[in-house]
Structure 1
Amino acid sequence: MTEEYVAQRYAHLRRAAFLMCGDWAQAGELARATLARALTAPDVGDPDLWAYGDLMAAFKPSHGRREHVFVAPSEAGERGAADTDAGMGDVFTVLVLDALRRLSPKCRAVLVLHHFCHLAVVDTAEVLGLDATKVTEYEAEGLAAFADLLRITRPAVTA
């Protein structure tokens, strides 16, 4: 991987990490660490799949440790124009992060990789070490959770 690749992919990996952890500072650290390892990694087939796999490995829960997701408030210095342009407005961000934090880490990773990073089901399965059927099951679970959240948050209609 080249320095040009690192420069091109940092913002996207940071946003993917943010969707996983809900904290811009932690997301930046994780994206930087992944890209630093990418520069020294031996020949990898697909650099994006390798980077996503490395990034998602940071979210594998260790045994006996309960996962907590905390959402840091966005700060002007932490959010760039790309975040706003990509539709990461405050209300949308809160809704998405609330729905994502309710999911298991694997289910969250499937939604982030498949829907935000636009990986195919087979590529998502490869990155996470799952079979494609399991990816589809996690996706269905996550999308159902999003539908439930949207149903709950829908404003009341006045007659």
Structure 2
Amino acid sequence: MESAPGFEEFAATRTRRLFQVAHLMCGDWHQAQDLVQTTLAKMYAAWPRLRRGEDEPGLDAYARTVLLRTYLSQRRLRRSSEVVLAEVPDSPLHSGPGSDLRLTLAAALGQLPPRNRAVVVLRYLEDHSIEAVADMMGMSAGAVKSLNTRSLAKLRTILGDDRELLFRL
């Protein structure tokens, strides 16, 4: 199959960041890889249409939206949150300075429902506005604000004495 012009460069430069966002949303190394691959496959199929009508920031936003919707639809299909691994993967997300902070936040995020986790990741780790998150998630800005408020309250409860970590987001 012949490659779509420009897609390989787009995928090569965005894969790492998409993986980081996917991993924060789902908390599983392999599922994050699958989410990124599915996202890129969907974008490849639509690439000629996307490339004509979108600039670089628009393509990034489209990729995040596809990633988010793929994650949420997979979570609806999968009711068990149990993750079985033969061995713990060696992840660059969990090494180096601040790794304890990342592990603590990742564990706390893992206790949130999928939509709540997605709102927190998109709002605070990806730094998107309420309106942008609402657009990506296909909901009203008020619904995003409500999810955001409930999610932060739940994170404060989960983190307890470590809740100052929230201010570092």
Structure 1 and Structure 2 fold alike (TM over 0.5)? yes
TM-score bracket for this pair, using the shorter chain length = 0.7 to 0.9
Q: 1:23 aligns with which of 18, 23, 28?
A: 28
1:126 paired with 2:138, answer no
Identity of aligned residues (%): 29
Structure 1 distance, partners of 2:32, 2:61, is 18
Indicate how the Cα distance of structure 1 residues 69 and 16 shifts in structure 2: closer, same or farther if over 3 A, else same: farther
Cα-to-partner distance string for 1:79-129 (whole Å, 9 max, x where unaligned)? 23x764695x1x323322322222221111111111112222111100100
Amino acid at match of 1:15: Q
The answer to whether the Cα contact below 8 Å between 2:130 and 2:144 also exists between their aligned partners in 1 is: yes
The aligned residue for residue 66 of structure 1 is: 79
Q: Distance in 2 between matches of 1:137 and 1:153?
A: 23
Aligned length: 148
Distance in 2 between residues matched to 1:114 and 1:23, nearest whole Å: 20
How far does residue 62 in structure 1 lie from its aligned partner after superposition? 3.1
**1:32 pairs with 21, 37, 42, which one?**
37
Unaligned ranges ≥5, structure 1: 155-159
Matches within 5 A, 1:38-117: 38-41=43-46, 42-43=49-50, 45=54, 46-60=58-72, 61-62=75-76, 66-68=79-81, 70=83, 75-76=89-90, 79-80=91-92, 84=95, 87=98, 89=99, 91-117=100-126
TM-score after normalising by structure 1 = 0.77
| Residue in structure 2 matched with residue 157 of structure 1 by the alignment | none
Q: State whether residues 53 and 127 of structure 1, in contact with CA within 8 Å, keep that contact through their aligned partners in structure 2.
A: yes
Pick the structure with more helix per residue. Answer: 2
Rate the CA distance shift 1:116–1:141 in 2: closer, same or farther, 3 A.
same
1:8-38 per-residue CA deviation (whole Å, 9 max, x = no partner) reads: 1111111111111111121112112211221
* Corresponding residue for residue 13 of structure 2: 8
Q: Return the offset for 1:69.
A: 5.4
Contact 1:17 1:31 in 2 (8 A): yes
TM-aligned CA distance change 1:37 to 1:83, over 3 Å = farther
| Unaligned runs of at least 5 residues, structure 2 | 1-5, 164-169
Report the RMSD for the aligned CA atoms in angstroms. 2.7
Asked if 2 retains the 8 angstrom alpha-carbon contact of 1:17 and 1:55, the reply is: yes
SS of the equivalent of 2:71 reads coil
